[in-house]
Structures are given as C-alpha cells and as structure tokens.
A and B are shown apart, each in its own frame.
Chain A
C-alpha cells in the first residue's frame, strides 16, 4: 500500500532508510525543521540546516522516487533562547517561496516556558502573515498534556487562524480529543518508546475514527523506526480493518491536509488512482 510520512526527519537517516521506505510504499515525506539533539551555536547554523532541507534533501529522496517536502521553523527545543529565535525568525521568510516548503513547522513547546510560548506565538503570526500551513509539535511525556492545552489556547488568540490548515502532531490518547474537537488535524507519531506504538495508534483510530487523523514514523535521530507506518498498516490488517480505511489514514488524509499547499504535487483527485 502506498503511504505518505508527513513527519520524517530524514536528515537523521541514511539513504538505506529512504530505500526501505520506498520498498514499503512510501511516495512522499514531509520534513519539519527540528532540534538536532544538540543546540546550534548561531542562526547561521540553523540557516545552513534550512538549506540542507530545501536544497539537498529533495535530491536524496528523489533517488528513491520519494517526493520530499519540508517545513521551516525555530524548533521548540531551542525556542527558549529568545535571541537566537528572533534571529532565526528573520531568516525564515526567504525560504517560504522555495518549491518544496509547505509551511511553518514544527513549532510549539518543549518544557512549556514563557519564552517558548512567545517564540511559538510569533511563529503562528509569521505563518498567518505568509499564508502558510502550520505543523505543531506537542511536548514529550509528562509535559504533553499541559503543553497541548497551552498550545491550543494560544491559537485561540488568532481569530484568522483556520484550524483545518493546522496539524497538531505527537497526539496521544489524552490529547487527541481536545485537538479534534477544535477542528485541527491530529498527527500520531509512531515511536518505539516515547510516543504511540502502531498498536496504540490503531486503538486511537478505533476510538476517534479516521477523520483528520494522520500517522507518521518520525525518522528521528533517537530511537525511531523509518518503516513505522507500514507497521501501522500491518497492525490495522491484523485486526481485520478494511483496506479502504487504512488507505484513508496513511494516504488520503495526508493528501487532504498537505494539498492545501499548492506546492504539494499529489492532489486528492489522483489519490484513488495511486491506491494499491
């Protein structure tokens, strides 16, 4: 089954992983800007990373016939550094016209500090100013509940924000309802330890239904699995769910969300034709 991984940090991955993803049906990835596991020393370092995302990575993916798209952001893990964040935010607009940039992301909170909230809201404003889609990171583990609540509260302060153009990622059982009830998309990122497993993602789909839910493998620099989405597909099949339901979640839903950007080349009208 063909699938799209809407949250894949491919700069952390080898070309072997691209090959595995292609062999298991991946036709497109979108790569949010993120923390590299260590803090950059300057905005120049972040800008070089943006160039890697927009200039280098699409070619690497294309070797395996995978479309590569990306998102620009000051990531949540470094967002408490206001001086660095202000500098990075001045550099983002020149990347927004690049042909593979879909929007602003992943923005959000990490330890949920006041500085992080300020950087986050400035980036929502930036996205609205430039009419960009938004991809939101919600915090890890014990910080997720509080961070998700505050992230959603902050968005309520932007009346022009259309929830259907925002995907709130790393949702789990205790945050999915509040995200979906407000009209946002919910992303389930599949991790072996720190977020949801393919089994729990299938439980969430069974509980909340397939509307506005996407799944992704994350392809992180930490423990993660580049073929986590195919494992989710296997889990859904193991339970006897119909192929049409599975396809909706791993392909049609991400196409519906991502094609709100005119740069995303897979259109909903052709999604059915590409199905199996």
Chain B
C-alpha cells in the first residue's frame, strides 16, 4: 500500500519535472541575487552556510530530505536555561562555537 507512489519513474518525471525545474531556477536566482549584492556574504551567515551545505547534499541518493532536515536542526539535547528569542530562524548555528 505504501513505500512509493503508484506512478512509474517516467510518470513521476513527466508529472513533476516542470514545477521542480522552476524551483531549481528560483534557488539559483536567489543565490545570484545575494551574490550581486555581496558575493562574500554567504560565508558570513550561518543560515546561508547551512543552505549551501544542504544544496551540496542534493547529489546524494535516497535520503536527501532526512539529511537536510538534520543539517538544519539543533542537535543539542538539553533545554535552554532561559528564553533567548521568541522564534526559530530556520537553521541551527553550528559555527557559533568555532
């Protein structure tokens, strides 16, 4: 009943290629936009560092979503002693302690 979509591989690509081509170009355009303002900026912002690592991991096979979810997640296991801010920002700053 589960494990995969009923569509064939070609059926999946036929159905989803164009919308994912669009998403690919949107990401490329976003990165170009940042570069036009300051090409050195992504190396200074932990969110962009995580984003670029996640993009590189797209070359993996099979477990891309899980891998990217873990790349972006806070790996710590203890609660914070005090509230630091109200909201999450989308990526954990793994570089803060360097």
B-contacting residues of A (Cβ < 8 Å)?
Answer: 77, 80, 110-117, 139-146, 149-150, 172-174, 200, 202-203, 205-210, 238-241, 245
Contacts and interface: CB of A to CB of B under 8 A. Distances in A.
B86 interface: yes
A111 B89 contact: no
From A144, A146, A172, A206, name the one whose CB has the most chain B CB atoms within 10 angstroms. A146
A77 B83 CA distance: 10
A80 B5 contact: no
Given A174-B66, A200-B65, A141 B79 contact: no
A111 B92 CA distance: 12
Given A113-B82, A206-B2, A140 B73 contact: no
A208 B74 contact: no
Contacts of A80: 83
A145 B69 CA distance: 9
Given A239-B5, A241-B6, A245-B1, A140 B87 contact: yes
B73 A144 contact: yes
Interface in B48-77: 65-66, 69-70, 72-77
B98 interface: no
A111 B7 contact: no
Nearest to B12: A239
Contacts, number: 92
Q: Is the interface of A mostly helix, strand, loop or mixed?
A: helix
Interface of B: 1-7, 15, 65-66, 69-70, 72-77, 79-92
Contacts of A141: 72, 88-91
Contact of A240 (B2, B5, B65): B5
A111 B80 contact: yes
Contacts of B3: 206-207
A143 B75 CA distance: 9
A193 to B, nearest CB: 10
Contacts of A111: 80, 83-86, 88
Nearest to A175: B69
A145 B86 contact: no
Given A113-B82, A150-B79, A174-B69, A209 B87 contact: no
Contacts of A207: 2-3
Contacts of B72: 141-142
B19 to A, nearest CB: 9
A27 B25 CA distance: 39
Contact of A140 (B65, B66, B79, B88): B88
Contacts of B84: 111
A99 B5 CA distance: 41
A116 B79 contact: yes
Contacts of A144: 73
A207 B82 CA distance: 37
